[in-house]
Amino acid sequence: MSCKVRGCEGPVLEELEESALCLDHFLDDITERTRGYDRQLEDLATDDSLRQAAMRFSVLTAAKLATVGIHHPPEEQLARGQLLNAMLLLADLRDRLDRAAR
């Protein structure tokens, strides 16, 4: 299976078949979605359904990334750094959600 992004021939890892994205585009998607949640959560009047969606996203996506990191660790240093950066973005989102719940 190839990545669903137009013009990309990158292979889709088994763990990412649900998203139909190669690892590079999956990491880009995580960054974009995390930043989107960050912007939306800045509003103090954010409803609970958005917080729950952001929490679900952070937990499930971090689990997928952990699985990829264990079973298909990237060979290149840059790709490993991008994977780590995505994990840190998700952890930061989760921390923000936890602090907001208190």
**Residue 71: per-residue pLDDT:** 94
**Residue 86: per-residue pLDDT:** 96
**Residue 48: per-residue pLDDT:** 86
Q: Which residues contact 34 (CB under 8 A, 6 or more apart)?
A: 58, 89, 90, 92, 93
Question: Which stretches of the chain drop beneath a pLDDT of 70?
Answer: 44-46, 102
Gap between the Cα atoms of 39 and 44, Å rounded = 11
β-pair partners for 11: 2
Estimate to the nearest angstrom the gap between the alpha carbon of 11 and the chain centroid: 18
- Contact present, 69 and 30 (Cβ < 8 Å): no
Answering whether pTM is above 0.85, one says yes
Residue-range domain boundaries for the chain: 22-101
Pair of tokens at residue 93 = 């989102």
**Residue 45: per-residue pLDDT:** 65
